[in-house]
Structure 1
């Protein structure tokens, strides 16, 4: 009875004050009520609900009794739907931390928490002190601990007008910290304080101003792969197609100019590189992640700087294409394998009949079989001539078919140091690209075996352009290629003197399993006998400052949010497997709100909180939180939870103050908020919910 009535009958006095027309008497362990039948029924229902709460081991407070009475009266008056009882509301545990349990305290708070469970995007809108942010934080920590998400991102639009901080002392982080302090404080209520620095260092928890959220960008001139080839990222528009990690096209969902930003050159150990800003996102994993079968993690560029080595090994592995890039089929005038053979060992000068040199007779006959209207005549030694097949009545001056096609491809007249792969072959189907590569490797490449190591594929050429084209072919098929230069100076002259007039570019190649590099039997047999090549891998080798550039970021529809950028590197801008909270959202402008919402990645959840009566934006600037209610109203999987003064869980006087302001605004017809009734500083303290 002490727990039901409260210390010094404090809870009983709350009930008596709420039902002044009823007589409530306590005799031993019995409570009786006399009065209006409807009031007596409410009193009986109230004590039943209180007993249900107490049986869970949770104490009742005066505030909890007042809220229970309000819920029961609303139900009795028909303004409530009766879906949740006071006991259900007051006993819903979200999170327990260090002996305290965080739970909703009002019906609207319970519905807000339930909406977070049921919907991907939830807006919590209401006055200060209603527990909007605190409850969202508790749900985020709960989701992290139950492994529903892999990271928490907390953000506020605190310093969008950064010049207002210019007079403050200290670094930018020191200036920003006070604006984010309520989020840090809430975290410390919910997690072991000693674990928070470790979680933040690992990128599991990120607390940052909204301005930092948008800045995951690359310079506008950075190449991004599309089904039609490479395009600068700054030229992309919503609806354009880019290539995803599975090699398939994926549409661009958003394009967001970012202005000038500091950028970094991110280089891999195979020589590939691209530029990105400090907040740009990278999917990576460590050797420990792989060993423990942990999922790939997402880190910002700046999080990896200074942490690129684990002993002598590179720490961060990058993902590779899971399948060859799927370019649309293009018509080509020459069989791709034959083109590869001629680029490797063909004489394409145009001053004589096209010829081919090889010690492998098998390649000569394969070439003849691939070139209609051409016969390959053995001239002597390794030399073969590609003659036009003459038919009765042919005019002597008819052009050699190979010469005609080489002219069409702009290859006629090229020499060993100027050969290249035409774009119609570089950006064609995987079958065409592989056939070209096989021709090049059968003629000028081969397997390289070493004791105790997997077999490498090696290719050499005097042409810088052809070297780069071979690397592109390999990378487009999901492989990696390393290149080095062998200087012509000082090299011993062989029988083909021209071969040593130019430096030789050697390319070491590793291809994915299932991609066959050779058709020539002797090379193919050696490659398979040696156990084939090892798995293609890429690791981040260095991250170095590269100046300031005009930047842009894009969002793509791919499930893993990855797209192919320069040198076939995979990167992305969207947040997957994350619980993201935007606090004080009334201080976003419409553009910022759109930017934030479109950051949503797969298996992520967004909660946006704010009070539309306390807008601190400059005069004339619309609040993104106000506008978004009209834009997204009725959109599936988006929910708006509205809390009122009845849901204030701070001092009960706060609720009365909120009501007084609403009453004043209603009388004066000034329900615009913001400029008239803004706060003296751009953040309120964290909610005291749960304390």
Structure 2
């Protein structure tokens, strides 16, 4: 039985000692507990149309065709197509070590922002769209099967966001040295977990994302007006309390009439009062007339202030106007440029966070005790962020925000802690940087490479037996709806190693074993034996 997974240092020492052979070899191939392998130039394609069925007792000899790529050539694998490839590296394993292909993944309940709203990793399919750190949609081109029994960690960020991932999941991060030079690196959860702290700070930061580019939507209420009403409006009517004439003008500029009420600083938005409205003779309720009050009632907002879902996935200008309406009425900016929205409703605070994060800022929710005249009134939820773009139209607040100085971008990883294993899966996105966003905070994370989505070591269910030597035959299936271009040298798999409690008595290549793939140097098809006797 296997007893332990080899670490990066042990892998290097065994390669240097000649116990493990990987040719060609580059120390940079070594990851924390595995070795990166690349795609070789040899493929074997299947011509299934040539036979009606495969008889394992008398296998066909003309089912596959060998393809060898020349320098600069590429290979196209079409949707649904299955081919065999091989690694560029020739691998030799001693008789007391076994190896296997490893993958990387996120928990199934991890939330993912998409152009159509929030999804989870469990529900994503090829053809769906997610967002990249540039804020632009990018396609999901492949998804893995659900994986269980994998060792998981909870990655904790400085804004309180948490993500559960397996140890081999990759993250694009920057260290203090990287940040001074404007660069980043890709590391696994395993590679970071014991190195989170540096001095009195944190070593690894993930980048801040750009605003998400949702499409323009037809919204029933002007977003600035809705934000202002949520911030300073009466929850049961289309009235607002404000001492700022600028806010009144902004509402008028949105095309809505606004009139003073008898209350100090009170304004009614949309009509002068109930005298102009018509009541239903049966119910006694006022008939919907297109007024703001009617629209608020129709949208379920009267008596329940919240941000309707469509407003959180509207275009950049619409969401910016919504935030501006909130900030002009209920927002605050301190002398350092840090801004804050406060509410006693936790669901609304979370919607503030979603709105702010989707606009490319880094919000943090802090729950505190609310007091009035020294008396405890319950809890309040402060949503703070430091914007690098104006978030006010109200001049007195906007002038205060101008003096923001430097602002922090990105978020730090503050802890990586063990958690019970959960089902996980990985996806591949159609973007060169391989990144997509997860969680309501829009944290960028790395996708799975193609090798994690359909790649296993041929005939050994992912395992490389002790004593094996040769290139590794790989089964490659295109799970997407579009052709995928492959080329020699593309990173395609990770190989990890485990020690056995004793050397194998009959390692691969032993005379008593078939060992059909021993010493192979090209993609090799299955070899069948042991079928029923023929008369």
Same structural fold, with TM-score higher than 0.5 when normalized by the shorter chain: yes
- Partner residue in 1 for 2:345: 463
- The reply on whether 1:359 has 2:271 as its aligned counterpart is no
Of 215, 225, 229, which residue of structure 2 is paired with 1:342?
229
- RMSD between superposed Cα atoms in Å: 4.2
1:31-76 alpha-carbon deviations (Å, 9 max, x no partner): xxxxxxxxxxxxxxxxxxxxxxxxxxxxxxxxxxxxxxxxxxxxxx
Residues 1:446 and 1:635: Cα distance change in structure 2 (over 3 Å): closer
Of 111, 122, 127, which residue of structure 2 is paired with 1:239?
127
- The reply on whether 1:475 has 2:357 as its aligned counterpart is yes
Quote the offset at 1:398 in angstroms. 4.5
1:503-561 alpha-carbon deviations (Å, 9 max, x no partner): 221121122x3x32101111001111x24661432111111122111111101012211
Of 254, 262, 267, which residue of structure 2 is paired with 1:379?
262
Of 564, 570, 581, which residue of structure 1 is paired with 2:444?
570
Of 398, 416, 423, which residue of structure 2 is paired with 1:550?
423
Q: Contact 1:337–1:436 (CA<8 Å) still a contact in 2?
A: yes
1:282-316 alpha-carbon deviations (Å, 9 max, x no partner): 0001111122x163110000111121111001110
Residues 1:532 and 1:477: Cα distance change in structure 2 (over 3 Å): farther
- Partner residue in 1 for 2:299: 409
SS in 1 for 2:226: helix
Q: Highest CA radius of gyration, 1 or 2?
A: 1
SS in 2 for 1:379: coil
Residues 1:589 and 1:562: Cα distance change in structure 2 (over 3 Å): farther
Residues 1:203 and 1:172: Cα distance change in structure 2 (over 3 Å): closer
Report the structure, 1 or 2, having the larger strand content.
Answer: 2
Of 160, 170, 180, which residue of structure 2 is paired with 1:271?
160
Residues 1:310 and 1:636: Cα distance change in structure 2 (over 3 Å): closer
Q: Contact 2:338–2:404 (CA<8 Å) still a contact in 1?
A: no
Q: How does 1:498-577 map to 2 (within 5 A)?
A: 501-511=377-387, 513=388, 515-528=389-402, 530-531=403-404, 534-566=407-439, 567-574=441-448
Report the structure, 1 or 2, having the larger helix content.
Answer: 1
- Partner residue in 2 for 1:69: none
- Partner residue in 1 for 2:4: 171
SS in 2 for 1:363: helix
1:578-619 alpha-carbon deviations (Å, 9 max, x no partner): xx9xxxx994259969xxxxxxxxxxxxxxx9858xx9xxxx
Of 359, 368, 372, which residue of structure 2 is paired with 1:486?
368
Residues 1:187 and 1:681: Cα distance change in structure 2 (over 3 Å): closer
Gaps of 5+ in 2: 38-96, 280-285, 478-482, 490-511, 522-535
1:311-352 alpha-carbon deviations (Å, 9 max, x no partner): 00111010121x210112221100000000000111122xxx
Matches of 1:412 and 1:533, distance apart in 2:
40
SS in 2 for 1:548: coil
Matches of 2:235 and 2:484, distance apart in 1:
62
- Partner residue in 2 for 1:81: none
- Partner residue in 2 for 1:257: 145
Quote the offset at 1:447 in angstroms. 1.1
- Partner residue in 2 for 1:432: 318
Matches of 1:678 and 1:180, distance apart in 2:
30
Of 274, 281, 290, which residue of structure 1 is paired with 2:179?
290
Q: TM-score, normalised by structure 2?
A: 0.68
SS in 2 for 1:439: helix
- Partner residue in 1 for 2:501: none
Quote the offset at 1:433 in angstroms. 0.9
Quote the offset at 1:211 in angstroms. 4.3
Gaps of 5+ in 1: 1-165, 495-499, 594-608, 616-622, 629-633, 641-673, 684-691
Q: TM-score, normalised by structure 1?
A: 0.54
Residues 1:171 and 1:440: Cα distance change in structure 2 (over 3 Å): same
Quote the offset at 1:237 in angstroms. 1.2
Residues 1:589 and 1:561: Cα distance change in structure 2 (over 3 Å): farther
Of structures 1 and 2, the one scoring higher in RCO (CA 8 A, sep 6+) is: 2
Matches of 2:231 and 2:484, distance apart in 1:
58
